[in-house]
Amino acid sequence: MHMADALISPAVGGVMMAAGAGAIAYSVSKVKEDLDEKKIPLMGVMGAFVFSAQMINFTIPATGSSGHLGGGILLAALLGPYAGFLVITSVLLIQAFLFGDGGLLALGCNVFNMGFLTCFVAYPLIYKPIIKRGLNVRNISIATMLAVIAGLQLGAFGVVLETLVSGKTELPFAAFLALMQPIHLAIGIVEGIAVSAVLCFIYKFDPELLRTAVPCAHKQSAGPVKKTIVILLAAALAVGGFVSWFASENPDGLEWALTKVTGEPELESQSAIHSLASGIQEKTAILPDYSLKNGAALPAQAGTTASGISGGLLTLALAALSGIAITRFKRKKECQS
């Protein structure tokens, strides 16, 4: 559900960028208060895992569409909403700048739709209250399914509203909404099942990781955290480097809805700001569309593997470094006070 720049006006893009920056600043301030330094490696590994998972588009039967994991609820469940939001933002930054996935002007919209609405709305209002009743497989499954579906529905509605406010007359509100919500409901069900499976596996293997994200949940004995992190990192590299070869080639839910409404999977915009953003992205994208530049002589899988592994590692580094920077700033402040 990564929005391209052509879907929004510069004004909407600017406002949403400012809102995203405010949410980042607020999250940093909250993370400084309660971030456990032992969670920093997990921040990096989960960033890599979500980046890799988003490369796997799965087919939605009988629609000609596909979807991919958003990852917001998964991150919030393991890291808490504030650190989770910072990690999903890291994923979106790497995708936009280095792979050309999602527009630079639309970055604030993507952060809001895929990060803010999941971490700060669906997680605290749906996932967390259910988990507080008891940390077990049943509650994890129910909470995850409901929160993932709600977060994706809110994100899809956010896309429709942002195009409406941007004055995109090619996308009539009612027609666009009638396509976006049902297809993302189907995607949300699949994502909910997948995320539930991951969280239930972690609960069985290392329940402490889930408990620390929700301190009020029923306490469990600490598990083999380091081993869990190694397993998640290995899974991230395997998914990004190999499993991504088998991703569906069908358009994702947003592209599918755009095609149904306009006849094309993308819109075009010729404004100077749109052109500037596109020009910057062309220069920064080292593997545009997750493929090798001038790599015609190589199989397409080479670009996919290079993208999956390099993107996962770069996201890991960015997410982990943000955690390290926050904790060091916190220590400095404490020493000065």
Is 248 exposed, middle or buried (CB count within 10 Å of its CB: 0-12, 13-18, 19+)?
A: middle
Amino acid at 319: A
Average pLDDT estimate for 13-27: 96
Question: What are the tens digits of pLDDT across the range 41-70?
Answer: 999 999 999 999 999 999 999 999 999 999
Q: Are 79 and 119 in contact (CB under 8 A)?
A: no
Helix/strand/coil (H/E/C) assignment for every residue in 225-291: HHHHHHHHHHHHHHHHHCHHHHCCCCCEHHHHHHHHHHCCCCCCCCCHHHHHHHHHHHHHCCCHHHC
Average pLDDT estimate for 24-52: 89
Q: Does the pLDDT of residue 336 top 80, yes or no?
A: no
Is 132 exposed, middle or buried (CB count within 10 Å of its CB: 0-12, 13-18, 19+)?
A: middle
Query: Domains (ranges, CATH) in the chain?
Result: 5-290+298-332 (1.10.1760.20)
Determine the Cα–Cα distance for residues 233 and 137; give it in Å rounded to an integer.
Answer: 23
Out of 7-21, 74-88, 129-143, 260-274, least confident range: 260-274
What is the maximum span of the chain, computed from C-alpha positions, in angstroms? 62
Determine the Cα–Cα distance for residues 34 and 36; give it in Å rounded to an integer.
Answer: 6
Q: Among candidates 233, 213, 212, which has minimal Cα distance to 222?
A: 212
Tokens of 261: 């409404």
* DSSP label at residue 116: I
Question: What are the tens digits of pLDDT across the range 115-147?
Answer: 999 999 999 999 999 999 999 999 999 999 999
Q: Does the pLDDT of residue 221 top 60, yes or no?
A: no
**Which has more confidence, 236 or 213?**
236
Determine the Cα–Cα distance for residues 67 and 183; give it in Å rounded to an integer.
Answer: 9
User: Which uninterrupted H or E stretch holds 113?
Assistant: none
pLDDT at 268: 87
Determine the Cα–Cα distance for residues 184 and 195; give it in Å rounded to an integer.
Answer: 15
Q: Among candidates 183, 184, 163, 182, which has minimal Cα distance to 172?
A: 163
Q: Quick one: pLDDT band at residue 337, thresholds 50, 70, 90? A: low
Strand 65-67 and strand 58-60: pairing?
Answer: antiparallel
In the chain, pLDDT over 70 holds for what percent of residues? Answer: 94
Determine the Cα–Cα distance for residues 330 and 337; give it in Å rounded to an integer.
Answer: 11
Q: Quick one: pLDDT band at residue 294, thresholds 50, 70, 90? A: confident
In three-state secondary structure terms, 252 is strand
